[in-house]
Amino acid sequence: MTAADAILSYAVWLAFAVLAAAFLLTVWRVVRGPTLPDRVVALDMLTGIVIGFIALIAIRTGFTLYIDIAISLGLVGFLATVAFARFVLSRGTGGGAPRENPAAALLAAAPVKRRKPAARRTGGTGPAVRRKARK
Partner 1 sequence: MMETLIAFVTALVILAGAGFALVAAIGLNRLPDVYTRMHAASKAGTVGSGLLLLAVGLHAGDLPTFARALAGFFFFVLTAPVSAHLLAMAAHKVGYPLSTQSVRDEMKGRE
Which is closer to partner 1, CB of 21 or CB of 129? 21
The answer to whether the CB of 81 falls within 8 A of the CB of 44 is yes
97 binds partner 1 (CB under 8 A): yes
Taking the complex as a whole, the smallest distance from the CB of residue 126 to partner 1 amounts, in Å, to 30
Degrees, nearest 5: CA angle 71-77-99: 150
Task: Determine the Cα–Cα distance for residues 37 and 106; give it in Å rounded to an integer.
Answer: 21
* Binding residues vs partner 1 (CB under 8 A): 2-5, 7-8, 10-12, 14-15, 18-19, 21-23, 25-26, 28-29, 35, 37-38, 40-42, 44-45, 48-49, 51-52, 55-56, 58-59, 64, 66-68, 70-71, 74-75, 78, 81-82, 84-86, 88-89, 91-93, 97, 100
